[in-house]
């Protein structure tokens, strides 16, 4: 799946974050993230992102005018919704670290819908920054910092491969 755009927005009424993923094939996936879910997920994302450090500059194969632009609004024009228009309410996630350093996050909604999101180091750093900004905007008062792996292991008793 080729990711075209990511967005994390706060829905004040629902008191949730909405993660939107748009693909090059004009598909859009929507996932609700609750405060509790993000609080449990964050130590694992921070551990992986901390091991990767800051992403190295990548020479873009795209012309400069097509490079990543965070000022561009999220576009859902002509989008199709393989999981439906109602966002998946993620109640568990499986985190897999691949041999090439990328990760797969499989979000699940109970035993019903699921969605797998593959992220390279740069996209993981971007997602983490977006989650931090959205949680701050939501005034959730979560400590979403990058912490050394030893501290994270002590804080989180849940296995890295699966969160509920």
Task: Give the tens place of pLDDT for each residue, 48-71.
Answer: 888 765 544 433 344 333 444 456
Pairing outcome for strands 103-108 and 28-33: unpaired
Whether the model clears a pTM of 0.85, i.e. scores above it, the answer is: no
Does the domain spanning 3-58+67-163 belong to CATH 1.20.140?
A: no
Closest Cα to residue 118, out of 106, 129, 109, 130? 106
Closest Cα to residue 10, out of 22, 20, 25? 20
**Interval 79-118: pLDDT, tens:** 899 999 999 999 999 999 998 889 999 999 988 899 999 9
Roughly what angle, to the nearest 10 degrees, separates helices 35-52 and 121-137? 140
Domain chopping of the chain, boundaries = 3-58+67-163
């Amino acid at each position: 799946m080729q990711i075209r755009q990511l967005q994390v927005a706060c829905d004040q009424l629902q008191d949730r974050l909405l993660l939107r993923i748009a693909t090059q094939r004009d598909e859009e996936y929507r996932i609700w993230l609750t405060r509790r879910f993000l609080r449990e997920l964050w130590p694992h994302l921070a551990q992986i992102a901390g091991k990767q450090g800051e992403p190295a500059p990548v020479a873009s194969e795209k012309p400069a005018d097509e490079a990543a632009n965070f000022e561009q609004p999220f576009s859902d024009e002509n989008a199709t919704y393989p999981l439906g228009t109602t966002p998946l309410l993620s109640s568990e996630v499986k985190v897999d670290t691949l041999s090439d350093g990328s990760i797969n996050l499989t979000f699940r909604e109970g035993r019903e819908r699921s969605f797998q999101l593959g992220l390279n180091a740069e996209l993981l750093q971007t997602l983490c920054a977006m989650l931090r900004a959205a949680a701050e905007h939501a005034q959730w008062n979560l400590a979403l910092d990058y912490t050394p792996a030893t501290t994270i292991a002590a804080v989180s008793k849940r296995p890295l491969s699966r969160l509920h």
